[in-house]
Amino acid sequence: MFAAFKSLFEVATEAPPTESQIQSAAALLLIEVAKADQSIEQDELQRIQEVLSEQWSLSSAELDQLINEATETAKWNASLHEHVELVNAHFSQAQKYQLVLGLWRVACADQVIHHHEEHLVRRVADLLHVSHKDFIRSKHEALEN
């Protein structure tokens, strides 16, 4: 009886996320921006590959698999919460800035920043605790390139 009572108060420890799970979280955020204007263009997918390959040294096959899995997950994903939580827990401020810059680069890939894309980038930047100054700086940096 005491063991059952004690188990109520024991905190379950979760295994730390794998590098693959963290990569998937970042890839999903990039996919969400690409699909914010209701279509994912080939140049947006290419830009996502570039952003992910700059962050992690993955082979072409690994990048394709990561993007395909993120695209599939995004079809059924109702919330960004768990993905943002993973990024917040495991990215430095500099990595978060680079991710927001990557989000902008994806939004700019088709030469038009749709207002839904901009809204989503702003929302994700806020959730990642990226300052407004860095949010604007990353947008200008993406537009210059």
What are the chain's domains? 18-144 (1.10.3680.10)
Tokens of 13: 């420890």
What is the distance of C-alpha 27 from the center of its chain? 5
Q: How many CB atoms lie within 10 A of CB 26?
A: 26
Which residues of the chain have a pLDDT value below 50? 5, 8, 11-12
Residue 121, pLDDT score: 96
d(C-alpha 142, C-alpha 145), whole Å: 5
Nearest-5° Cα angle at 78, 15 to 47: 85
d(C-alpha 77, C-alpha 50), whole Å: 23
Residue 116, pLDDT score: 93
Residue 102, pLDDT score: 96
Residue 103, pLDDT score: 96
Q: Is residue 87 within 8 Å of residue 26, measured between CB atoms?
A: yes
Residue 13, pLDDT score: 55
The residue count of the chain comes to 145
Residue 20, pLDDT score: 84
